[in-house]
Amino acid sequence: MHSLIIEKVYITFPEAFWVDPPAETPDASLSPVERATALDTFPSYTNWLAPNYAPDTNPKRWAQEIWNLASFTPPNVHPTILFYLYGDLSAYITTLVHKKTDQEHYKLLDEFFRPYYSLLPHFSAEDPVCKPKAFLSTEWQKDELSGYGSYCNIQIGAKDADGDINAMRHGVPERRLWFAGEHTSPFEELGTVAGAYLSGEGIALRILDTYGIPKPEFKTEKGHAV
């Protein structure tokens, strides 16, 4: 098992300038999801393949991809775009801003990502709503406690990796040692928050069984115990 080197850079603006205003005001009777669909005029995902117009900051022409967080349904909608980084690019950006001051962090990231976000619809360098309010970047590969990576993955050519996961999932209960997290989740949920939750829930139930503690009852909306 190895740690996957994926990083994220969030760029928040005063407004989601790239979103077109709706042609007409959505019907007030629409549900939140229907209203968000009516208001959403920009794709949630955009990709720049091998960009060649930023030779000073990106001479290797690393691909760039963003997720539009302004396309979420309320109350989770934000005037934010998320750059997803991986491979050599993630290592470069993480090293570029590691241990820099807040001012340096902002300047370095803005210089690198401006050639891409400036191509979004309605961008104007003179418009203050197009100037980022803040940058937030992850540094998982600099974090010893996270295994120098964002989450575990199985490398190509690995043998018996499922056995490794099962061993971590089993833990050392005879020494009162259990492990939980995305790396011990069901196989179809590896690397996800849902997997981390499920693994924690499963370990909690195993601990209760080990010490003979009755499992709590949970009530559904209709009041039935589960």
Range of the domain at 165: 154-210
Report the candidate in 195, 174, 176 with the shortest Cα–Cα distance to residue 184: 195
pTM here? 0.73
Q: Among 94, 128, 145, identify where a domain stops.
A: 145
Domain count along the chain? 2
Verify that 82 and 131 share a domain, yes or no: yes
CB burial of 102-111 (b: ≥16 within 10 Å; e: otherwise) equals eeebbebbee
pLDDT tens per residue, range 119-155: 999 999 999 999 999 999 999 999 887 777 777 777 7
Q: Are residues 86 and 179 in the same domain?
A: no
Q: How many other CB atoms sit within 10 Å of the CB of residue 180?
A: 20
pLDDT digits (tens, 9 = 90+) for 2-60: 556 789 999 999 999 998 776 566 677 877 777 666 666 566 888 999 999 999 999 99
Helices assigned H by DSSP within the chain? 32-39, 87-97, 102-117, 161-170, 193-210
